[in-house]
Amino acid sequence: MRKRIFAANWKMNHGPTAAAGFIREFRSRWNGSDAEIVFFPSALAFAAVRAAAGDPSPFKLGVQNVYFADHGAFTGENSAPMAKDAGADYVLVGHSERRHVFGETDADCAAKCAIVERSGLTPLLCVGETLDQRERGETSTVVTRQLREGLARLDQIELTTSVIAYEPVWAIGTGKNATPEDAAKTHGVLRSALTELIGDRASEVSILYGGSVTPANAAQILSAQDVDGVLVGGASLEVERWLSICSS
């Protein structure tokens, strides 16, 4: 059975005080489910979120980025072993903002996925096409390339423990979102690509959808074939809206 995952990517929002307050309120109101709830706070808010979540925590935690090395003279960066030591379970890799704002390549994503797995964490690899690529009919080609190259340095076992998120770049923060049919089609392409890599065990890999997910459209998106959860940005910043999505 694949995990059903609801992941909140807070990006550069919610400092330690606001993040801790959010987690305390969410935990007090969350009735629980079979789904896995994951929070990706900013690096500066991570410790506050972990403390507010309690021990044991009903949620999983992740970091939004790591560097390629375990340690060293890399001012401003964080490493996967440090994230593990801090209590992280997941690491976002290849988010569209990392690719298009900070210039990260598929090769960078491959290096990060490898060090994340080696450190005992789960990479959540993001793939997705731009509007121009979509209009040229290149969606399948782009996401397949990003998936194959991003996972290229993982072995068969590591591949089955990874998580994928399809994030159409044209839908992130724009208010536009793929239809359930669009999501199902692209998730099917990704599932097929995974099957070519690991055979029947591709059915074990969760594929999330991310791109202007809201309480209004979450249930419809989650009903689409091969959509195993959502990766949410803006709508995860408010407790009420995030509760609604996680209850979809």
Which residue numbers are catalytic? Answer: 95, 167
Give the bridge partners for 62, in sequence order. Answer: 90
Q: Is-contact 126 143, C-beta < 8 A?
A: no
d(C-alpha 137, C-alpha 75), whole Å? 41
Q: At what angle do helices 139-150 and 180-198 cross, to 10 degrees?
A: 40
Tokens of 19: 């993040």
* Helices and strands counted in the chain (H then E): 11, 8
Please name the amino acid found at residue 138.
E
Please name the amino acid found at residue 131.
L
Q: Is 168 left (phi over 0), alpha (psi -120 to 50) or beta?
A: beta
Place of tokens 């706070």: 41
